[in-house]
Amino acid sequence: MERRTFTAMGTEIELLVESDDATDAFDAVEVEFERLEQVLSRFRPDSELSLLNQNGSIDASPDLAQVLWLAVDARERTDGRFDPTVHDALVGAGYDRTFDDVPRDVAAASAASECGGRVSVEGQHIEIERGYRIDLGGIGKGYAAERAAELLALTGPCLVNAGGDVAMRGLPTTGVWSVAVDGSITLGLTQGGVATSGRDRRRWRRGGKEQHHLIDPRTGAPAETDLLRVTAVGDDAVAAEILAKSLFLAGEREAADSTVPAVLVTADGRTRLSRGLGR
């Protein structure tokens, strides 16, 4: 099994391929991550997403149009729990620069921002309602993981772990991809994707109050839930990312009762399996 790790999109990317020599494929994936970051990052002022946020409309590249279409579709399917228009809420909460540069504790209080702005994706033309801006942080990583897996699959069975968003193609010789969750549980998958959403990592304080990056679009502020972390399995990394965030916002009771295969870690440290994982 060939393995390579590198940093992109503000996180560590891990590539695994069952192949004798995957150097060229690994190089191609690194280039692809850089290309997609230049399209989807809200932290790069010259990215395509930043241009959209500045101008309110754009004739986008196929990648941006596709990711935004997926995000808007997810908003409808999750009844608004997943929402791409959380940009200003994230900035209001203090996540206004790459996470490594976010001050961990400052006195300024955070302010909630309204989410749920209208987003129109007609072919490759995108328009967002005035006063709203887009963040594609989580779903963008899932999308990039899937694109990377497509590239690596030309070399052999592969797995891409983009900071917790996992995409896979083919099967390793062991017959199953084993993905560790929470140190104690290992999931075996033959296809699909895995993603983890939680408030245990990207967090900071504003005005003495803990903030994190998972915005509840209903309140426009960091979600208050009895869950610490959710790992969900979906059809692919994008679907898993959407499911993980939705279950996280749903809270322990609803998430545990879900038919989505998921591992839940509660705020008080318990680990639970959802009904979808054979609870």
Partner 1 sequence: MTRHVVRLYALVVGVLTFFLVWALVAAHPWSASSRRASRDPRLIELVARRRWIERESSRVQIVVARRWAIYRKALRARNAAIARVQRQRALAAQQLAVAPVPAAAPAAAAPARIVTLPPLVITRTS
Q: Which residues bind partner 1 (CB under 8 A)?
A: 1, 11, 14, 16, 138, 141, 156-157, 159, 161-166, 170-181, 183, 185-202, 229, 231, 233-235, 239, 241, 243, 259-261, 273, 275-278
Which C-beta is closer to partner 1: that of 36 or that of 194? 194
DSSP state letters, 211-223: EES-EETTTTEE-
End-to-end Cα separation, the chain, in angstroms: 32
CA 170 to chain centre: 22
Which is it for strands 221-222 and 177-181: parallel, antiparallel or unpaired? unpaired
Which C-beta is closer to partner 1: that of 32 or that of 127? 32
Task: Quote the least distance from Cβ 45 to partner 1, whole Å.
Answer: 23
- CA nearest to 28, candidates 163, 154, 181, 122: 154
Task: Quote the least distance from Cβ 118 to partner 1, whole Å.
Answer: 26
Q: What is the DSSP letter of 176?
A: S
Do 63 and 146 contact (CB within 8 A), yes or no? no
Q: What's the CA angle centered on 47, arms 45 and 217, to 5 degrees?
A: 85
Which C-beta is closer to partner 1: that of 104 or that of 173? 173
Which C-beta is closer to partner 1: that of 92 or that of 276? 276
Which C-beta is closer to partner 1: that of 33 or that of 132? 33
